[in-house]
Structure 1
């Protein structure tokens, strides 16, 4: 839940606004003003309470608009919502700097959407250090890619790396690492209001310098919602240099918050036809969620000699191939059996190191140009 200050202008509307705010399930009221406060009192309460957002009943007219300006001066990134705005004040409220303006009659759903829009616009922008990995289908190897890329970032570049295990029901990261979390990410997400450095450290599993927030794969825990991931990212954003997210194959209303904050989303597929076809579907889903094409692309996993080339796959699917990783089944099987990372002196280990260098911004390693086939399989 997000902490909020509510500033009222009309006693008649106070119960209505308070009830709608509570019904969203998103807000925790920390202070309520029965009328628009003076500059000194407003400054004091905003600084002392440090709310996540402020709701203002703008029925009082210009004095409420000036209140928004005061808050903007105190904190330019503070989301400020105008509630119960009369038709004649709509444009003036928008010009005053409110992040969302709701009319005199609005619903719980309207308020919930305005809260989301305001928080995302002010504090939920794209983060340069967040990268998400989306499998085209189960078994594409996305978790293995995340695991070994994280290790290479920490080992070769000295990055403080956090891996967020967002594939809550089918996660294999804990299995690959052969560890069980003391506090699962599900438990952490259900209490993001109370998250602090101690709770984060208690939940994180550290392996070879990389922190992991791992799933318990429990079938009985409550599924998270977008505010849980939003608040988690807000808390960890200044504690790590790079955050890698291991996504489930289907983006949902909760994990879309991770996707929207990611600098790049890597769809991980193999060269098998079902995987390639489902990659097209994953791309369409990202498009429908509003992600621009410039922020996602394809990572071809388990490529070996004789497979379609990256340019050919890109042409067939209409998607950029951002990276390819060679097939090395023997090494993967051995590392999974022993619960360790792919050795850097192997061909696959070097590929992970090169990919990590790109994410770290330390290198731009060109894609290999292998041989081709595939056009006929897609009717081209």
Structure 2
């Protein structure tokens, strides 16, 4: 259910809006402020209360613009609706310049409000693909080197972006990232899930490990009884998106329920395989399964341990998988062995690191969506039917 924050100095109006929001059963009020917060208070509010959308009063246009600008620049364009008493052309123009697409006007009819909240929910759901980059690394079968690929891709991304990259080990049964990096974590992704409703910056600092410019959240100790529910998982990812430009997830490949939830959130799903026939067979099976979930268009093939003179040609591999290869990582057993023994990613500028760096640059250079067709001023707010007071 959508978690909204109300920021309305007019407490009579705020009370009416809160009751109307709860009456829609489409959202919960995570916070109700009677003042316009400063940047520090706003950041703390969004993070600690798990706010996903803001209903912001236009009572003070200047303060409204300050908060709206912060949400656009610092909260990755968090979905927002303006609460206005009237919608004259000058007001609409100012709201358009502030990036507002949704208007809410009194009296707060539940049917109209529910429609607005549903649209905000759709914006929240779309933010994973349109704003943040969430990349999933999924093994075709155990032992194809997915964790090594995920780790070194994440390191390459973090170097390019100068940080702001998180790598999560969501292989809860055989997670190996902590071993690869010689970490001895006291806390893990399981603890993050358990504290998802109360995450703050202090707790988060205990959950992640810095590896150069990258931050890593390990999987923790083997515990077959661990179950990950959808709601805390969603809150965990929502919290992470506030602080990282890219999130990489290392999956077990067992297609657990929580893994499928993350795959649905992912902008790209990198199916990692080698050229061995069993891996290609299971890779094709997983690809067909993901196509059945309407995720096939997000899947891209990474061929690990590639040989220039392998037994199978690139065309034969692609025919077996039923998909083209996005990138090939050459086989370098000695370099991988040395990396594991040292507990570090690949040495920067090494042969393998250059391949990961090139792959990372290609991900970050992918073009965005095409520009939208120009619209008239009122059409700009077509997602938000405005109702005049008294009607």
One of 267, 273, 279 as aligned partner of 1:269 = 273
Note the alpha carbon deviations across 1:247-291, whole angstroms, 9 max, x for none: 111222212221112110000000000000000111122123331
For the residue of structure 2 that corresponds to 1:282, the secondary structure is helix
Contact 1:77 1:123 in 2 (8 A): no
Contact 1:325 1:348 in 2 (8 A): yes
Match of residue 166 from structure 1: 170
One of 316, 322, 338 as aligned partner of 1:318 = 322
TM-score, length-scaled by structure 1? 0.67
Match of residue 197 from structure 2: 193
Q: For the structure 1 residues 226 and 120, does the alpha-carbon distance in structure 2 shift closer, same or farther, using more than 3 Å as the test?
A: farther
Distance 2:248 2:50 in 1: 28
> Structure 1 residue 343: deviation in Å?
1.9
> Structure 1 residue 222: deviation in Å?
2.8
Q: For the structure 1 residues 41 and 289, does the alpha-carbon distance in structure 2 shift closer, same or farther, using more than 3 Å as the test?
A: same
Distance 1:239 1:266 in 2: 23
Structure 2 residue ranges without an equivalent (≥5): 6-10, 20-28, 34-48, 54-79, 84-99, 104-109, 368-391
Matched, 1:259 2:263: yes
Matched, 1:226 2:226: no
Match of residue 303 from structure 2: 300
Any residues of structure 2 matched to 1:141-180 within 5 Å, and which?
141-180=145-184
Distance 2:345 2:14 in 1: 57
Q: What is the aligned residue count? A: 287
For the residue of structure 1 that corresponds to 2:143, the secondary structure is coil
> Structure 1 residue 160: deviation in Å?
1.4
> Structure 1 residue 51: deviation in Å?
8.3
Contact 2:136 2:263 in 1 (8 A): yes
Any residues of structure 2 matched to 1:75-154 within 5 Å, and which?
97=115, 121-125=122-126, 126-127=128-129, 128-154=132-158
Distance 2:288 2:219 in 1: 27
Match of residue 370 from structure 1: none
One of 15, 19, 32 as aligned partner of 1:41 = 15
Q: For the structure 1 residues 176 and 97, does the alpha-carbon distance in structure 2 shift closer, same or farther, using more than 3 Å as the test?
A: same
> Structure 1 residue 346: deviation in Å?
2.9
Note the alpha carbon deviations across 1:282-341, whole angstroms, 9 max, x for none: 1122123331x2211210000012123434422332112111100001111111111111
Distance 1:166 1:243 in 2: 12
Match of residue 208 from structure 1: 212
For the residue of structure 2 that corresponds to 1:301, the secondary structure is strand
For the residue of structure 1 that corresponds to 2:167, the secondary structure is strand
Contact 2:2 2:121 in 1 (8 A): no
Structure 1 residue ranges without an equivalent (≥5): 6-29, 31-36, 55-70, 79-91, 101-117, 364-380
Contact 2:154 2:214 in 1 (8 A): yes
TM-score, length-scaled by structure 2? 0.65
Match of residue 250 from structure 1: 254
Match of residue 372 from structure 1: none
Contact 2:268 2:299 in 1 (8 A): yes
Contact 1:229 1:255 in 2 (8 A): no
Distance 1:287 1:180 in 2: 38
